Amino acid sequence: MTDFTYQQSLPLKLLPSYGRHDFVVGESNYEAVNLVDNFYNSKIHGLIITGPSASGKSHLVSTLQNKNKYIILDANDINEEKINIFELRNTVVENIQEVDNHIFFLHIINIIKEKNYKVLLTSRVPVNQLDIKLADLNSRLLAYVHTKILLPTDDVLRGIIIKISKDKGLLLSNLVINFILNHLERSYLVIYRFINELDQLSLVQKKKITIPLIKTLLK
C-alpha cells in the first residue's frame, strides 16, 4: 500500500442531516446508542458519553427521545448569568471537559437530582482524567453510568463516508470508498474533513470524484 500524508486545510462543516436514522451504528458505538435510545424511560439518572472529537456525541444527543423535554447546554453555559436554576429539568451538558465553574456545575446537577430529573453529559476526556479538584463533584460524576464511543471500525467509517457523501449529493463508487478507507487515518474528524475538501475540490475542478482526484489531496 502506498503511503500518503493527508494535510488538512479547510474548516470542518457541520453535517446537514442529523436524525436518528442518519446515525451510523457499529461495534464502536453500539453501547452508547443503546443507552441513549432508552435513556428517557430508563431508571438511569445520570449518563456520561465519552469519545474523541467528531465521534458523533452531539449527533447522538440530538436523537434523544422526547428531546423537547431536555435543556441542551454546552460547557460555556455553566455560569450563574446564563442559567435560571428554577427552570432546570432533564438536562444535557456537552463538552464537560471545558467546564470552568465546578462549584456551580455541582450545584446544577444536585438540583437536577433533587427534582428527580435526568442528566446526560458528554466529554472528550474520561471523568477520571478530568482536572476536577472538587471532591463532591468528582464523586457525583463517577457515580453516573459511563459509556464510550470507541475508535471507529471499518463498518462505521464506511457508513460515515456514505452518509456524508449522500448529504452533499456526491456519488462515490465502492472502489473510491475502499481507497479512502485504505489511505486515511482511522479518525472521525479526518474523514469528515477529507470528504469536505474532496467535495470542494470536485466543485472547483468540475470533475467527478475518482481515485486520481483523491490522490491530489493525498501527498
**pLDDT per position as a tens digit, 100-144:** 999 999 999 999 999 999 999 999 999 999 999 999 999 999 999
Residue 15 scores a pLDDT above 60: no
* Range 148-161 average pLDDT: 86
Average pLDDT of the chain, as a whole number: 86
Q: Alpha helices, DSSP H only, in the chain? A: 30-37, 57-61, 102-114, 135-142, 154-167, 174-183, 188-205, 211-215
- List pLDDT tens digits, range 53-97: 878 888 888 888 777 789 999 999 999 888 988 889 999 999 999
Give one DSSP letter per residue of 18-32, joined into a string.
Answer: -SGGGSPP-TTTHHH
Show the cell assigned to 43.
Answer: 431508571
What is the rounded distance in angstroms from the CA atom of residue 110 to the CA atom of residue 143? 13
Residue 190 scores a pLDDT above 70: yes
Residue 20's pLDDT band, with cuts at 50, 70 and 90, is low
Strand partners, 145: 47
All residues at 6 or more sequence positions from 3 whose CB lies less than 8 Å from its CB, including other chains: none
Task: Select from 35, 42, 109, 34 the least CA-distant residue to 71.
Answer: 109
Residue 172 burial (10 A CB sphere; 0-12, 13-18, 19+): buried
Classified by CATH at the fold level, domain 29-148 comes out as: Rossmann fold (3.40.50)
What is the rounded distance in angstroms from the CA atom of residue 201 to the CA atom of residue 109? 46
Edge-to-edge strand ranges of the sheet holding 145-148: 70-74, 90-94, 119-123, 46-50, 145-148
More reliable by pLDDT, 152 or 83: 83
Q: What is the pLDDT of residue 21?
A: 61
What is the rounded distance in angstroms from the CA atom of residue 215 to the CA atom of residue 179? 10
* Range 172-185 average pLDDT: 91
Percentage of the chain lying above the pLDDT 90 cut: 52
> What 8-state DSSP symbol labels residue 206?
T
